[in-house]
Structure 1
Amino acid sequence: MAEKRILWLLWLFAGTAQALCPRWTPVRATEEIAQLQQQLRSWDQAYYRDGQTLIDDTLYDSLQQRLRQWQRCFQPAIAPDRSVWADNGTVDHPVAHTGVKKLPDKLAVAYWMQDKEALWVQPKVDGVAVTLVYRQGKLAALISRGDGLKGQSWLDKAAAIPAIPREIPDKSDELVLQGELFLTVTAHQQAKQGGVNARAQVAGALMRQTPSPLLAQLGVFIWAWPDGPKTMAMRQAALKQLGFGLASAWTQPVASEEDVARWRDRWFHAPLPFVTDGVVIHQDKRSTGKQWMPGSSEEIAAWKYNPPIVSSEVQSIDFPVGRTGKIAVVLNVAPVQLDDKTVRRVNLGSLARWQALDIVPGDQVVIGLAGQGIPRFEKVIWRVTQRNRPDAPNPEQYHSLSCFDNSPHCRKQFLSRLSWLSQKDVLDLPGIQRSTWQRLILHPDFLHLFSWLNMDIEQLSAVPGVTPQRARQLRHYFDRVQHQPFRRWVKALGVPLPSAALNALPDDDWDGLLARSAHDWQQLPGMGATLAEKVVNWLKDKQVRALIDFIQQRRASQQQAE
């Protein structure tokens, strides 16, 4: 358990470290906070007044968390932001809604569970929280959660919801239950179908002024009985007698975080009658209802599923240039967890797309996962008011015949060319990554794409970060590469040939390759007239010819030495 404590603290401090304050002037901070607050209130109005969800709950929560962070940074004396619409309830809850403590991962679950006994897990049903009040066995109130102390009366909607008994066998003066009104579904698999906007549909049906036919499709999942029977087993048995038997089938005892993880995974993939967004862990016994207060109760905790999308702040923007001169745009974002991956970079695509989207550092973007778990940009959900656009490369300066030389202007494309020729199916230079080339090109004799062929051990050792032992290893790889087949050198140079044409190439020397006419190139698979002409012109380029001459001279010197 000591190890778990240490890991928990590391997680806590890591989260704190990420919550850094932006480098804004007070004037800009006030403007940014006001703009985001205004947008959140607009979404609140659509949700609470009109029953419309204009933004995913996860994304809303992340933006509100960001706003609160800004307030802590620049307006510490002001109370943290919260929805004014959530505070517009007029009916008191007999017992406050406490909310649940959110746990980010299995380690946090283990830490929370320590020293607690008799724990139970339930699915975290994704719906709308309510209080049900029965007096002398008759339904007397149905109250929305609101701010946890006051909510709206939805009693007029109860008659249209068959899942809520109008009368129960218990004739106590007052019996209070807390639970979730949810959209009933058939064999819903969270892993495959996601949230299907279920919560918003429920909220919309309850908030409409006119009766909604959707009310008949609502179910109720009771997850709390303040001041009810002492143990979970007793509460579930009694709830079944009252007509609320659903939860008993979905309440399981757990003794460790592994047990919780197994049920969480099982319910994530199993067909369920409701939509879920995680699991909730309950203590067997709870404090008396008069002690319950809004906030995060330590007696109940939730471990939510990883959302299919997350939002993050753009911290900076890179413009990598590929070996053929194509310019890409990469967003560097504040680290976020998506599925089992920590995402720090998202490929946006082309310059034209970036310019159309108009993304700048400080903007909040939504990230999802494409096939094979690759982070994918989805959309912008918030734009900072001050638009500081980074300088992008000029696309006219980069093409398939640019940057064979080591110059500051060409550094990105030049490194991409070197990284390409290192690959196993090109010249196969094992262990020589982009970072290795970044060091080597600092040497004053590294002038062009194949200068490394002439670098001896002494020159390599003079490069910062390259030890004599590493220099000997590099020289060994450089010597060995001289014996690679001719087609690999053609590929390393970057001749724009499709794989089928390269594999069918009959030439085994540069003279034969250069003697080919456009007609000759068209005889190879995948080579049309336009591409054939392009290859002929490409091979006539002065830089290309100079590199070919260098390779030929180097090969001749190697053969003489052997």
Structure 2
Amino acid sequence: MRLWKCIGLILLVWHLPAWAVCPVWSPVRASEEISRLQQQITQWNDSYWKQGISVVDDSVYDQLNAQLIQWQRCFGENSSTDLSAPPISGTASHPVPHTGVRKLADKQEVRQWMRNRCDLWVQPKVDGVAVTLVYRDGKLVRAISRGNGLTGEDWTSKVRQIPSIPRTTKGLLANSTLQGEIFLQRSGHIQQKSGGMNARAKAAGIMMRQDNPESLRSLAIFIWAWPDGPAVMRERLQQLADAGFGLTQQYTQAVKNADEVEHARTNWWNSALPFVTDGVVVRAESEPEARHWLPGQGDWLAAWKYPPVARVSEVTGIQFSVGKSGKIAVVALLAPVTLDDKRVQRVNIGSVRRWNEWDIAPGDHILVSLAGQGIPRIDDVVWRSTQRTKPTPPDNRFNSLTCFYATPECQEQFVARLVGLGAKDVLGLEGIGEAGWRELHRVYRLEHIFSWLTLTQAQLQSTFGINRGGKLWHQFNQSRHLPFTRWVVAMGVPLTQATLNTSRDSAWRQLRGRDEKGWQQLPSMGARRVRLVVQWLENREIIALSNWLAAQRITGFMP
């Protein structure tokens, strides 16, 4: 729940990515940006606190709220009001204040925090809304939302409708105060795969709505504090379990060091759980007397949160590139963020059409996550700047039959063709990437995509050094002996490798000798593909390249 966020947000601000650096804005623009973001966050808060509706994902809200605080600090604006805090409308006093929990950034901080403490335990940090349960003479007499930690809303009538929360207790629990997290029940939730699912906001929404009491049956509770309860943790856990609060015992483990905390954290991150979590909480068995509990002063417990599966980052620029087939790709340059130990500074948007659909400009903030194999992707545009200037993309005049020869306007596609032909499954030219090809072209002004075949060992060594240049010269010469089909692929033939293999063509004259009917008899050759192949074979630059390769005595091209 969005309570006592000021503590968490201050910590988050200090761990913000590079977009936490103060932007270079005029006072007027700074005022506009800050004002708009304040208004947006206020609107989100109104929906959240008054209607129980979360318009934006919790993690996005947290990161943008931290961004607002950072901007306010940068430009000297008043940031004393925590917009994420709930409206002070609850009047029910907590018998024992909610302390909140200190956030630790990494394993090293966990290790330091544990150093002078003993009898420690770890629990999942269940993602929901905090509540106080008050039992008197064995009956649930009061349930209070966390509110500002001292007072909150009276949730008694709603909590009594949650079947999993006991209405009666006995023994020491007959007269007790419990603090815990009301959460949305899940079946086999794996945090690493499914993420947070906005579970916090969904639980809050159910508790705040006046209609549909049936939805309360989807909630449950995880008790994480029993102020003035039994001094021995095992006894505390057993009595809670006997009273119907069994999850606490099931998911509380004794730990001796940071390695054991990390092991539990990783295990819960990858295991099926009945709730959504956003980290772990390490707590000491020994706690102060409840009369000493105050908001923000729970120094006997600390949280180590999971890394966010998605991060908000500012777009610092838009970059265009022309691929070997002539397609224009758009890339967003980002203020660096870390996702799963991967530093992300750029993300592929896709085509120009896709870029226009996203409507992304420098200064906007986007939500980035990692897709399969750790490839960054855009999940959403979460904030658009007040001043948005979008660059003009290159002319869309390139295609699969352009830029085999170098011209000033062909620079990008020409280099892309060089990079493509050097790939492992084409000519396999290892040790030279885009930067290397650009350097060769800059120094020797390559005429066409195969001009590098004429470079001498001395030329390559003068450009790349003795060792690297020598190895490249050896690879360039070895490529002369590769099969004919590898060279055809390097030329950009619009055929799949399977079709080439089926054709069994091993010479240029065989490719040229096929008519449209002959091409149609091969697999995966529809009418469109046949037209592309015919156009490619009749292209004057392709014919010129084939003659040049024949002069170089490349296998399959000689008459």
Are 1:366 and 2:367 counterparts? yes
- Give % identity: 47
Q: CA RMSD in A?
A: 3.2
Residue equivalent to 1:205: 206
- Once residues 548 and 217 of structure 1 are traced to their aligned partners in structure 2, the CA distance between those partners, rounded to angstroms, is 70
| TM-aligned CA distance change 1:235 to 1:533, over 3 Å | closer
* 1:280 shift after superposition: 1.3
Are 1:404 and 2:404 counterparts? yes
User: What TM-score do you get using the length of structure 2 for normalisation?
Assistant: 0.88
Contact kept, 8 Å, 1:280 with 1:301, in 2: the verdict is yes
Residue equivalent to 2:127: 126
Match of 1:546, SS state, is helix
* 1:430 shift after superposition: 1.7
Contact kept, 8 Å, 1:146 with 1:152, in 2: the verdict is yes
Residue equivalent to 1:484: 482
Post-superposition CA distance 1:508-529 (Å, at most 9, x none) = 4434434443344334333334
Name the aligned partner's letter for residue 351 of structure 1.
V
Please list, as runs of the form range in 1=range in 2, the aligned pairs for 1:117-156 lying within 5 A after superposition: 117-134=118-135, 138-156=139-157
- Once residues 496 and 174 of structure 2 are traced to their aligned partners in structure 1, the CA distance between those partners, rounded to angstroms, is 82
- Once residues 406 and 550 of structure 1 are traced to their aligned partners in structure 2, the CA distance between those partners, rounded to angstroms, is 15
* 1:284 shift after superposition: 1.7
* 1:59 shift after superposition: 1.5
- Once residues 408 and 291 of structure 1 are traced to their aligned partners in structure 2, the CA distance between those partners, rounded to angstroms, is 75
Residue equivalent to 2:70: 69
* 1:18 shift after superposition: 5.7
* 1:91 shift after superposition: 3.2
Are 1:552 and 2:550 counterparts? yes
Residue equivalent to 1:525: 523
Unaligned runs of 5+ in 1: 1-10
Residue equivalent to 2:7: none
Residue equivalent to 1:413: 413
* 1:116 shift after superposition: 2.4
Contact kept, 8 Å, 2:18 with 2:337, in 1: the verdict is no
Residue equivalent to 1:79: 80
Deviates more, 1:279-288 or 1:247-256: 279-288
* 1:492 shift after superposition: 0.8
Name the aligned partner's letter for residue 226 of structure 1.
P
Post-superposition CA distance 1:141-165 (Å, at most 9, x none) = 3221122233222223233234444
Match of 1:85, SS state, is coil
Residue equivalent to 1:437: 437
Please list, as runs of the form range in 1=range in 2, the aligned pairs for 1:94-173 lying within 5 A after superposition: 94-134=95-135, 138-169=139-170
Match of 2:326, SS state, is coil
Deviates more, 1:125-134 or 1:103-112: 103-112
Residue equivalent to 1:224: 225
| TM-aligned CA distance change 1:51 to 1:458, over 3 Å | same
- Once residues 204 and 42 of structure 2 are traced to their aligned partners in structure 1, the CA distance between those partners, rounded to angstroms, is 17
Please list, as runs of the form range in 1=range in 2, the aligned pairs for 1:267-416 lying within 5 A after superposition: 267-295=268-296, 297-339=298-340, 341-395=342-396, 397-416=397-416
Residue equivalent to 1:472: 470
- Once residues 482 and 434 of structure 1 are traced to their aligned partners in structure 2, the CA distance between those partners, rounded to angstroms, is 21
Residue equivalent to 2:91: 90
Deviates more, 1:139-148 or 1:516-525: 516-525
* 1:553 shift after superposition: 2.0
- Once residues 485 and 46 of structure 1 are traced to their aligned partners in structure 2, the CA distance between those partners, rounded to angstroms, is 66
Name the aligned partner's letter for residue 388 of structure 1.
T
| TM-aligned CA distance change 1:266 to 1:475, over 3 Å | closer
- Once residues 510 and 74 of structure 1 are traced to their aligned partners in structure 2, the CA distance between those partners, rounded to angstroms, is 68
How many residues align structurally?
546
Match of 1:265, SS state, is helix
User: What TM-score do you get using the length of structure 1 for normalisation?
Assistant: 0.87
Are 1:426 and 2:426 counterparts? yes
Post-superposition CA distance 1:163-182 (Å, at most 9, x none) = 44445446899843221122
Residue equivalent to 1:450: 450
Match of 1:153, SS state, is coil
Name the aligned partner's letter for residue 42 of structure 2.
R
Contact kept, 8 Å, 1:222 with 1:247, in 2: the verdict is yes
Post-superposition CA distance 1:192-220 (Å, at most 9, x none) = 55445443332122212346123344322
* 1:324 shift after superposition: 0.5
| TM-aligned CA distance change 1:61 to 1:161, over 3 Å | same
* 1:13 shift after superposition: 9.0
Name the aligned partner's letter for residue 394 of structure 2.
P
Match of 1:359, SS state, is coil
Name the aligned partner's letter for residue 420 of structure 1.
G
- Once residues 236 and 222 of structure 1 are traced to their aligned partners in structure 2, the CA distance between those partners, rounded to angstroms, is 10
- Once residues 173 and 402 of structure 2 are traced to their aligned partners in structure 1, the CA distance between those partners, rounded to angstroms, is 85
Name the aligned partner's letter for residue 158 of structure 2.
K
Unaligned runs of 5+ in 2: 1-11
Q: 1:539 aligns with which of 532, 537, 540?
A: 537
* 1:293 shift after superposition: 3.6
Deviates more, 1:418-427 or 1:440-449: 440-449
- Once residues 273 and 79 of structure 2 are traced to their aligned partners in structure 1, the CA distance between those partners, rounded to angstroms, is 43
Post-superposition CA distance 1:346-387 (Å, at most 9, x none) = 222211011122111222222344344433322222211211
Contact kept, 8 Å, 2:168 with 2:174, in 1: the verdict is no
- Once residues 211 and 532 of structure 2 are traced to their aligned partners in structure 1, the CA distance between those partners, rounded to angstroms, is 68
| TM-aligned CA distance change 1:78 to 1:309, over 3 Å | closer
Post-superposition CA distance 1:73-102 (Å, at most 9, x none) = 123553264235344433333433222223
Are 1:24 and 2:25 counterparts? yes
- Once residues 197 and 25 of structure 2 are traced to their aligned partners in structure 1, the CA distance between those partners, rounded to angstroms, is 39
| TM-aligned CA distance change 1:334 to 1:89, over 3 Å | farther
Residue equivalent to 2:5: none
Contact kept, 8 Å, 1:157 with 1:211, in 2: the verdict is no
